[in-house]
A and B are shown apart, each in its own frame.
Chain A
Amino acid sequence: MKLSYKLFGAFLASVLISLSSTAFAFTACQVTDIGGVDDKGFNATSWKGVQDAVAKHGIGSKLLESNAETDYVPNLNSFVSEGCDIIVSVGFLMGEATANAAKENPESKFAIVDFAYDPTIPNVMGLIYNTDEAAFLAGYLAAGVSKTGIVGTFGGINIPPVTIFMDGFVAGVNHYNKTKGTNVSVLGWDPESKEGLFTNNFSSLDDGRAFAQNLYDEGADIVMPVAGPVGLGSAALASELGTDSLKIIGVDVDQYVLDTKNQSVYLTTVEKGMDATVLGAIESAKNGSFKGGVYVGTLANNGVRIAPYHDLSSSVSNGLNNEIKKLRSSIINGFLSVKN
């Protein structure tokens, strides 16, 4: 009996030591949305930004995953009472919860991916991305590579950070048609009426497969799913059909690297550099230069970009590749508008 008490004491002591050893001078905390941190998309990329900050500056990090949207508010509150030095919330859908938490706790610093407040809130940095600039290049590329003359896209939910991909994609295809006199059409999104194909979730891989199948049946040979992990289902379908029949354009972060199972189907990825911007926000909070407002990721500051073509680079002609490089610099220099 005595021995077990001693053991228990030793156990408790070791717990206390391990508790105290986790105390950092600066802690960055992230709340994910319902996609979870392993979504191979924007939650994962933002978390990579936090991890980069940990590696670079030796700070502490904490993570809370939301199971349902009812978790947003309590998760943010947990981090406030935990005394986090900066709280990163991921996603447009957390916009209201983050704004309320920031107003109730003016001492805490927040950064939110994909949301810009108008008017701005002094203790929230909104990280938004001109994703349409990169999606424009992807649209031009798709129009140039497509053999059927039909490309497709679909989204998760009809919200600005999703539809901006689709806007840019359509604009890129239209620009190709205008320059080349072709008639490549885009299925799944109408930038005028703001209507299109949406799975209404960011989680069902089955939907990803079914929506890509529908677009394929309608003649599309390149599909860009803008729905986080849903796109993994589309990639699985493309892998079965073969890349001659169907190619996928990934979103958020180079899917060739993340989706290793079906990596050969990705023509490119429209990347949002959330890791870099989250890292930047954490660094600004750490060195005291943190300001509420908006930070915009663009082609110019590498906040958005398109990924290499990897296995499918043979299907992109040198001419097309050079045109895209030229387009990129004219967008950066402001000579070309990516709006429809």
Chain B
Amino acid sequence: MRDYLKKKIISENFDFEEILLIPILATLLALIIGCLFLLATGETFENILVAFTNLFIGSFGSLNAISETCTAATPLIFAALGIALAFRAGLFNIGAEGQIIIGGMAAVIIGFSIDFLPIWLHLPLALLFGAIFGALYAAIAGWLKATTGAHEVISTIMLNLIALRLLDYFLRLPVIQKEGRNDPISKSVLETAQLPQILSFIEPQLRLHSGFILMLVAVVLVYWLLFHTTIGFEFRSTGSNPNAAQYAGIKASLTIILVMGIAGALAGLAGSNQIMGVLGRATPGFSASIGFDAIAVALLGRSHPIGVLFAGLLFGALIAGGRLMQVKAGVSIDLITIIQALIIVFIAAPLLVRNAVPWAFKTKDKS
């Protein structure tokens, strides 16, 4: 069962049908079924066409739309890269949400408390702390697994809950809480710790910030780490056959802690990215379940960095386009959630896709 699952969510080589065709068809099928949902709720054909046209216009139809798509995609891709990396090493990291929260908290504290550093020191320092604390928090689950065998799915879920309550607690500490407020909200990060907007010279309301570029760098780095370094090879070997890896002299426990640490650092960066590029402060809901959506992005991207990049952009597009869809067609934003869920169903069951559109595939399903 586990081997079967692994085969479904990880693609070893860049197989065209596995990495591109199935996700694309899954997305199309999900959109079509989304239409059926709309028809069932009494929407007219015209309005459905208006809805889907605007879903596209709102995500790619203008510079602002593209900026919004990329802004929404950036934290998803950061966190999904970490989850994909863990998948590759045979670990199901459900804890990105908690790691985002802890990383974001670290970034916000560095962001508002240090007021004497210039931007070129303050900004990297805040990002670094976000990454380190995300890594440490995830490494707890890795360490528990390596030393006691505690399953990472259970421990990361529990660590998510702990992170959520820690956030509530921290946001009410007088040193962190914003002056004059009784509700849990942190002080705002200083300008020297804000990720600069990169398109505001064209139009000031374009929100895309430099975290997007950092994210692209991270995609390249994770690709390089996975496929061109010894560590990456060790990760993948541990994932595909832990016993063989052990016999080949790879230290499984060290690998587990290391993988979880890197995954946590990436999730921590996702959190810092939201704090320093989008929100400017922390509140109880700042993680906005990005850590859970990122699991879907990693699945859709077949745990391949390039696949994750495109999957993240697709999810970002759904979020950004969903707004215009709601404005122009009056269709509830819940449709987006349904489409996202359907995509995952089709990815998790690729046979469904193969059977729905058999003529699109040249090769038979090898599993």
Query: Which residues from chain A sit less than 8 Å from chain B, CB to CB?
Result: 11, 14-15, 18-19, 29, 34, 62-65, 67-71, 73-75, 77-79, 81-82, 93, 104, 157-160, 163, 194, 200-201
Does A69 contact B182, Cβ atoms closer than 8 Å? no
Identify the closest chain B residue to A105 (Cβ).
Answer: B205
Please, how many angstroms separate the alpha-carbon atoms of A75 and B71 in the complex?
14
Q: Nearest-CB distance from B165 to chain A (Å)?
A: 9
Please, how many angstroms separate the alpha-carbon atoms of A160 and B278 in the complex?
25
- Interface locus among B23-31, B45-53, B122-130, B142-150: B45-53
Does A63 contact B330, Cβ atoms closer than 8 Å? yes
- CB neighbours of A104 from chain B (8 A): 204-205
Say yes or no for B17: interface residue by CB 8 A criterion.
no
Say yes or no for B68: interface residue by CB 8 A criterion.
yes
Say yes or no for B354: interface residue by CB 8 A criterion.
no
Does B333 contact A79, Cβ atoms closer than 8 Å? no
Please, how many angstroms separate the alpha-carbon atoms of A67 and B333 in the complex?
8
Say yes or no for B6: interface residue by CB 8 A criterion.
no
- CB neighbours of B50 from chain A (8 A): 15, 18-19
Does A65 contact B326, Cβ atoms closer than 8 Å? yes
Please, how many angstroms separate the alpha-carbon atoms of A11 and B53 in the complex?
13
- CB neighbours of B330 from chain A (8 A): 62-63
Does B47 contact A18, Cβ atoms closer than 8 Å? yes
Known A14-B46, A15-B50, A67-B333; judge A78-B323 contact (CB<8 A).
yes
Given contacts A64-B326, A82-B327, A158-B183, 5 further A-B contacts (CB under 8 A): A70-B279, A78-B324, A158-B182, A159-B181, A160-B182
Say yes or no for B184: interface residue by CB 8 A criterion.
yes
Does A18 contact B332, Cβ atoms closer than 8 Å? no
Say yes or no for B64: interface residue by CB 8 A criterion.
yes
Say yes or no for B8: interface residue by CB 8 A criterion.
no
Q: Nearest-CB distance from B343 to chain A (Å)?
A: 17
- Interface locus among B190-198, B252-260, B284-292: B284-292
Flag B306-333 by CB within 8 Å of A: 1 or 0 each.
Answer: 0000000000000110011011101011
Does A69 contact B288, Cβ atoms closer than 8 Å? yes
Please, how many angstroms separate the alpha-carbon atoms of A79 and B328 in the complex?
11
- CB neighbours of B45 from chain A (8 A): 11
The B interface is mostly helix, strand or loop, or mixed, namely: helix
Flag B169-212 by CB within 8 Å of A: 1 or 0 each.
Answer: 00000000000011110000000000000000000110100000
Q: Nearest-CB distance from B197 to chain A (Å)?
A: 13
- CB neighbours of A75 from chain B (8 A): 323
- A–B complex contacts, Cβ < 8 Å, 16 sampled: A11-B46, A68-B285, A69-B283, A69-B285, A70-B279, A74-B68, A74-B320, A77-B205, A78-B323, A104-B204, A158-B183, A159-B182, A160-B182, A163-B182, A200-B284, A201-B284
- CB neighbours of B68 from chain A (8 A): 74
- CB neighbours of B327 from chain A (8 A): 29, 62, 64, 78-79, 82
Say yes or no for B274: interface residue by CB 8 A criterion.
yes
- CB neighbours of B182 from chain A (8 A): 158-160, 163, 194
Does A200 contact B184, Cβ atoms closer than 8 Å? yes
Please, how many angstroms separate the alpha-carbon atoms of A67 and B326 in the complex?
12
Query: Which residues from chain B sit less than 8 Å from chain A, CB to CB?
Result: 45-47, 49-50, 53, 64, 68, 71-72, 168, 181-184, 204-205, 207, 274, 278-279, 283-286, 288-289, 319-320, 323-324, 326-328, 330, 332-333, 337
Q: Top 8 nearest A-B pairs by Cβ distance?
A: A68-B288, A159-B183, A158-B182, A18-B46, A65-B333, A78-B323, A157-B183, A70-B288
Does A74 contact B323, Cβ atoms closer than 8 Å? yes
The residue among B72, B183, B184, B204 with the most chain A CB atoms within 10 A of its own CB is B183
Please, how many angstroms separate the alpha-carbon atoms of A233 and B223 in the complex?
48
Please, how many angstroms separate the alpha-carbon atoms of A163 and B181 in the complex?
12
- CB neighbours of B184 from chain A (8 A): 157-158, 200
Please, how many angstroms separate the alpha-carbon atoms of A79 and B183 in the complex?
28
Please, how many angstroms separate the alpha-carbon atoms of A71 and B336 in the complex?
14
- CB neighbours of B323 from chain A (8 A): 64, 71, 74-75, 78
Please, how many angstroms separate the alpha-carbon atoms of A77 and B207 in the complex?
10
Identify the closest chain A residue to B280 (Cβ).
Answer: A96
Q: Nearest-CB distance from B51 to chain A (Å)?
A: 11
- CB neighbours of B326 from chain A (8 A): 63-65
Please, how many angstroms separate the alpha-carbon atoms of A319 and B205 in the complex?
60
Determine which of A71, A73, A82, A158 lies in contact with B207 in the assembled complex, contact meaning CB atoms within 8 Å: A73
- CB neighbours of B46 from chain A (8 A): 11, 14-15, 18
- CB neighbours of B337 from chain A (8 A): 67
Please, how many angstroms separate the alpha-carbon atoms of A12 and B297 in the complex?
33
The residue among B50, B205, B207 with the most chain A CB atoms within 10 A of its own CB is B205
Please, how many angstroms separate the alpha-carbon atoms of A275 and B205 in the complex?
31
- CB neighbours of A78 from chain B (8 A): 323-324, 327
Please, how many angstroms separate the alpha-carbon atoms of A93 and B278 in the complex?
16
Please, how many angstroms separate the alpha-carbon atoms of A158 and B278 in the complex?
24
Please, how many angstroms separate the alpha-carbon atoms of A15 and B332 in the complex?
19
Determine which of A65, A68, A73, A158 lies in contact with B289 in the assembled complex, contact meaning CB atoms within 8 Å: A68
Q: Nearest-CB distance from A242 to chain B (Å)?
A: 34
Q: Nearest-CB distance from A319 to chain B (Å)?
A: 38
Identify the closest chain B residue to A81 (Cβ).
Answer: B64
Does B285 contact A34, Cβ atoms closer than 8 Å? yes
Please, how many angstroms separate the alpha-carbon atoms of A70 and B322 in the complex?
14
Identify the closest chain A residue to B44 (Cβ).
Answer: A18
Please, how many angstroms separate the alpha-carbon atoms of A144 and B7 in the complex?
67
Please, how many angstroms separate the alpha-carbon atoms of A78 and B211 in the complex?
22
Please, how many angstroms separate the alpha-carbon atoms of A132 and B265 in the complex?
47
Identify the closest chain B residue to A79 (Cβ).
Answer: B327
- CB neighbours of A200 from chain B (8 A): 168, 184, 284
Identify the closest chain B residue to A12 (Cβ).
Answer: B49
Determine which of A62, A65, A69 lies in contact with B286 in the assembled complex, contact meaning CB atoms within 8 Å: A69
- CB neighbours of A69 from chain B (8 A): 279, 283, 285-286, 288
Q: Nearest-CB distance from B38 to chain A (Å)?
A: 15
Please, how many angstroms separate the alpha-carbon atoms of A69 and B283 in the complex?
9
- CB neighbours of A62 from chain B (8 A): 327, 330
